[in-house]
Amino acid sequence: MAYMECRELRKAFPHLKEWCNKSLWAPSWFYGSVGHGWAVVERYIQNQENPNAKTLCTGLGLKSGV
């Protein structure tokens, strides 16, 4: 799906190739949460720049990885 969207965007806006030659989308990942409230997820996002963020999230019961 993203490939088709990228192709259509590049057709409509050829100047994008100068800005992002190889990839239009930034590398990213998805975090799914079951049983955790939205406030916990928001705190996780807000604390990503915090060096103690891993500790904060672990203390809330969040786990990283698959």
Q: Given this model, what pLDDT does residue 63 score? A: 54
The confidence score (pLDDT) of residue 66 equals 42
If you search the block for the tokens 């100068």, which residue do you land on?
Answer: 18
Q: Break the chain into its structural domains and give their ranges.
A: 1-30, 31-66
Which residue, chain included where needed, has tokens 């406030």? Answer: 39
Query: How do residues 22-48 score in pLDDT, each as one tens digit?
Result: 777 777 777 666 776 788 878 878 888
What DSSP assignment string belongs to 1-65? -HHHHHHHHHHH-TTHHHH-SS-SSPP------SS--HHHHHHHHHTTTSTTHHHHHHHTT----
pLDDT, one tens digit per residue, over 42-66 is 887 888 877 665 554 555 555 554 4
C-alpha angle 51-56-57 in degrees, rounded to nearest 5: 110
pTM: 0.31
CA distance 62 to 53: 11
